[in-house]
Amino acid sequence: MKGFHSPFFVLLAQSVGLLVLSCGSNTVKTNQGVDVDVVYGAQGQACGRGLTVVQTDYVSTNVALLEFDGSPLSPSLIHSGASDVQLNAPIGGDVVFPRAGVDNQVVLIDRYPASVLTFLDVPSGQVAGQINVRSGFDANPRDYLQLDEHRALVSRFETNSHPGKEPFDQGDDVLVIDVDELSIVGRIDLGGTPKERARPSTLLRYEDQILVALSHMDAAFQSAADAELVALDAKTLEEEYRIILPGMEVCEGLSLSPNKETVAVSCSGIVMNAEQAEPSGSGLVLLRENKENGELEEVYRQDAAAWGLGPLGFSSGFLSDDQLLVTSFGALDGSDAGRPDRLVMYEIKSREHRVLLEGAAFSLGSVACTSECGRCYVTDAQEEQLHLLQLDDRGELRTDQVGVDTDVHLPPRHVGFF
């Protein structure tokens, strides 16, 4: 299943999938904007306004908005078969949200081959703009992080084999975006080469730094060097230091604990080895600040092989300072065929884990948490629903199912906040 990272999976889906939305869903009304207030936690922390859900079969895509309890707000803010939306580039099938949401706006990252970001205004339901980050090649953008009112960052996973024909067309980098003009104004070179690619993916704000995850996968997605994190100054965007994670591969699941003390890193390894219950290169790494030099450093790791659940997923989230949620991949074939996907809770203090949910292989998708309100969500494509995990007044864990009620009949695969 290397396609979770690779363009080849997207091309396969496009060649065999049915264009559900464009063929049969013209009755689905889009641009159903909503005007909702910010929801606050018990201590007055802002949790966001609601949930964003991407439903996709990797050919067609629908974006729905929900309240935090799962009640529908807008069943179709936009979808790829809509004829009533003015877009310079249509919505494709390989669409995700940024790891960090943007207030009252939905940002769609159309990864491969489109390489386009679409900005949707939630109250009006209208397209606020688009930016193409291809610069002459299939850039495969991975994440978007807004730095302030005027600047944002976009990581690009692919490299351009023939650069020099357009501005900022090298790839394998992080672009600096002018949010007001939706234009590229800068590029951060992370030191990759055509043979040893950096492969930047997830972006995470940590205090006055921006952490960039480097996967270092080769051109064929067959192997990867040790994963690495680059710390950038959040204002100047200059590189401050790097953290190498020896033995860990493809570490894209970055999350920050509510107390801002722990950065958790989930590493999947090479997903094409997902039939292995005890994979190499996959696990959890916990980072904390070294008080002497102010840099993050590894303080603990947990190899996925010791759990025997398969490779860990591409996202993670803190339900509380001590409770981290990650997924693990099931297996469709091989000696371990039939192994399910699992949602795992890892407890930081005790170093113990427990399986909370199981699903069909490759059905559990992204994990998104708003620890300010004590809630986490994970998508379930097989059951066509979300799983909601929350802490009650006594701190006990409660799990509920949330249906994504739309007329487009596409499985939910990504969840975020606005």
- Beta strand residue intervals within 257-374, DSSP E: 263-267, 283-289, 296-303, 312-320, 323-328, 341-347, 352-359, 364-370
What's the confidence (pLDDT) of residue 382?
95
The answer to whether 132 and 116 have CB atoms below 8 angstroms apart is yes
What's the confidence (pLDDT) of residue 23?
39
389-393 long-range contacts, CB within 8 A, separation 24+: 389/319, 389/325, 389/356, 390/319, 391/319, 391/320
Nearest Cα to Cα of residue 324 among 364, 359, 285, 358? 285
Residue 272 DSSP SS3: helix
What's the confidence (pLDDT) of residue 15?
35
What's the confidence (pLDDT) of residue 5?
46
Cβ count within 10 A of residue 167: 11
The answer to whether 376 and 305 have CB atoms below 8 angstroms apart is no
The answer to whether 92 and 109 have CB atoms below 8 angstroms apart is no
Q: Using CA of residue 6, residue 7, residue 10, residue 12, what is the dihedral sign?
A: negative
Run means of pLDDT, 10 residues per run, the chain, 418 residues: 42 36 49 90 90 95 94 92 71 94 96 95 95 96 97 97 95 98 97 91 98 95 95 98 98 96 97 81 98 97 97 96 96 90 97 97 95 92 95 88 84 96
- What the chain holds in terms of domains, given with CATH numbers, is 2-417 (2.130.10.10)
What's the confidence (pLDDT) of residue 19?
34
Q: pLDDT of 279-323, one tens digit each?
A: 999 999 999 999 999 999 999 999 999 999 999 999 999 999 999
Q: pLDDT of 39-60, one tens digit each?
A: 998 888 899 999 999 999 999 9
What's the confidence (pLDDT) of residue 4?
44
Q: State both tokens at 408.
A: 């487009």
Reported as type and span, the H/E element at residue 215 is none
The answer to whether 248 and 283 have CB atoms below 8 angstroms apart is yes
